[in-house]
Structure formats: structure tokens, C-alpha cells
Amino acid sequence: MMPDKAAINHAVETAYSDHAKDTGGANASYIPYLASVDPSLFGVCVVTADGDVFEAGDTGFEFALESISKVFSMTLAMQEVGLPEFHDKVGADPTGEPFNSVMAVAMHDNKPVSPLVNAGAMSTVSLIPAESPDERWKKILDMQSAFAGREIRLSDAVNDSEQSTNFHNRAIAWLLYSGGTMYSDPMEACEVYTRQCSTLVTTRDLATMGATVAARGRNPVTGKQVFDAALVPPILAEMTMEGMYTASGDWAYKVGLPGKSGVGGGILAIMPGTLAIAAFSPPLDPVGNSVRGQKAAAQVAAALNLNIYNAT
């Protein structure tokens, strides 16, 4: 059920003001650009499945999408290759490992464990049908833009910073290749994957992207059908399993909304059929999830009684 507008507005304002002065956590330092972002920035935004927007704080500041990009490329791959083939090639399990785990290349089956950690995400990129890496990249960027309802662009500063330091991901890409689960040139897939993490979004964009999932694949702001509604349950299942990395189980237990984080400081939580909550704050916990972002998103969800395991 859709909470009333005054309640959403109050929840967003309160989540912002209650945590505006919080400190704790540290910016990601393994990507030089991310280490330099002002840690005091903080934004909270809700976009409903009807397209209403509620926001507080620095919701217009553009930050690096990072791992949250995995949700949109996964959707694209699911849509283009079909769910059975996608699920046959990339798993839907929690890894129990950090997001850059080498183990996530293959654990129980001979396939990457989840599309929402680096290994499975690079395999996912390689699955997107395209004649060239440029075409694959354009499809991904167009998908991010359709989700956001505006033209999303690459940050050369973020991209240069990541492409020149992503040795670990390159190694994972070669491991996928040697295991037969990389479906394009591995270095090209790693390059495109790194780009998809290096686009800039605002907290408002992120909430709109989530609201597109909440509204069954239709962007509630532009009115455009971005992807097939049948993909919503598997998208949310994947987010529940691995969206918050090793904290995914605790997040499901305590918050009860499919979520996704990125090391740029973004957090997204989705109540299907109702709304999406986005929060942004650069300092991360040791798992790689925004400290304030998690608190703010959890607080909005609790204030509005939104929990998929307690749906009314």
C-alpha cells in the first residue's frame, strides 16, 4: 500500500536530519577518485511508483554509481538473452565473500555465483549481445539513462582512476575466461564493466532508477517501459541474495527490502509496487556499504512500515 505523501516527506526529512551529523566509516581508498570525495555529503530521496519525489540534503550531487550499475547491466542481460539462459550462466546465490572475491568466479557450480559481485558482473557484461565493446557500452549507458529518465554520462575522472588501478578485476576476468564463463574478450569485458561503474548519478537519479523497478519496469517519471515486468522478481531476488555483499542477510533480516550498495557511497532499497529509497554518503563500513546511507534508508523503510516479508 502506498504511504501518504506527508508520511513519506516526514520520513525522508527525519532520516536526513537524524543522521546529518553522523560520522563513522571511511571513503573507499582503493580507487583514488573516491578517496577524494567530500565525506560530509549526504542525501536521502524517495521516488514512488507514481513518480512523486521526496528529498532532503545533497540529492543533486553527482557521485560514482559503482556497484549499483550491476543491477542495470544484469537487467539488460536478462532481457537480451532471456531469463533461462541468464540463470544458466550466472548464479543467484550469496557468495559470503567480499565484492571483489576471486572465489565468486565459481563455488558450487561452474558459474559465477552472483551477477552483483565483480566476477559475475563481468561475466554478465560479456553476455550482453553486441558486435563490439563500444556497442555493448552504449547499450549499458542507454539502459542506465532509461532507468534514470535522463542522459547519464561517464566521468572521465572516475573512469581513468579505476582503469589505471583495476588489476584485481583484470585477474578475475582472466579466471572467468579460463573457466569458460567469460563470453567476450576478458579485457574488453573488464574495461566495459569498469566504465559502467564510473558513471555519475545523483541521489534523485538513483531513487528514480529504483522506482522503475518498483513500478514493474516502467519509469514512473518518464512513463517509458524500460524492461519487461517479468524480470522484476528475479532482479529483486538477486538484490536480496547479494545486493549488500556479506551484510545481505542482516539487511534482509533487519530492513526487509531488496537493496544494493556501491563503493561510491550510494544505497538503493526497493519496495516492489510502492517506492524506492536512495541515500548517498561516501564513508563506508568494512563491507563496503555506506554507513549513513544504510542508516537513513533503513530508517525511512521502518518509518513507512515497508518490508517485503511483512507486506500488508
Which of 27, 79, 100, 123 lies at the binding interface for ligand GLN (CB under 6 A)? 100
69 is in an annotated binding site: no
Contacts 24+ apart (CB under 8 A), 248-255: 248/94, 249/94, 251/294, 252/309, 254/298, 255/297, 255/298, 255/301, 255/302, 255/307
166 is in an annotated binding site: no
Q: Does 283 bind ligand GLN (CB under 6 A)?
A: no
Q: Does 251 bind ligand GLN (CB under 6 A)?
A: no
Catalytic residue among 245, 261, 290, 291: 245
89 flagged as catalytic = no
- Of 198 and 208, which has the nearer Cβ to ligand GLN? 198
Q: Does 227 bind ligand GLN (CB under 6 A)?
A: no
Catalytic residue among 16, 44, 69, 70: 70
Sheet holding 266-271, edge to edge: 53-57, 43-48, 275-280, 266-271, 259-261
Q: Does 238 bind ligand GLN (CB under 6 A)?
A: no
245 is in an annotated binding site: yes
Q: Does 262 bind ligand GLN (CB under 6 A)?
A: yes
Encoded one letter per residue, x for contact with ligand GLN by CB under 6 A and - for no contact, window 163-182 reads ------x-------------
Restricting to residues 38-77, which ones interact with ligand GLN according to CB under 6 A?
Answer: 66-67
30 flagged as catalytic = no
161 is in an annotated binding site: no
Q: Does 288 bind ligand GLN (CB under 6 A)?
A: yes
- Of 91 and 265, which has the nearer Cβ to ligand GLN? 265
Catalytic residues: 67, 70, 193, 245, 263
Q: Which residues bind ligand GLN (CB under 6 A)?
A: 66-67, 99-100, 118, 162, 169, 197, 262-263, 288
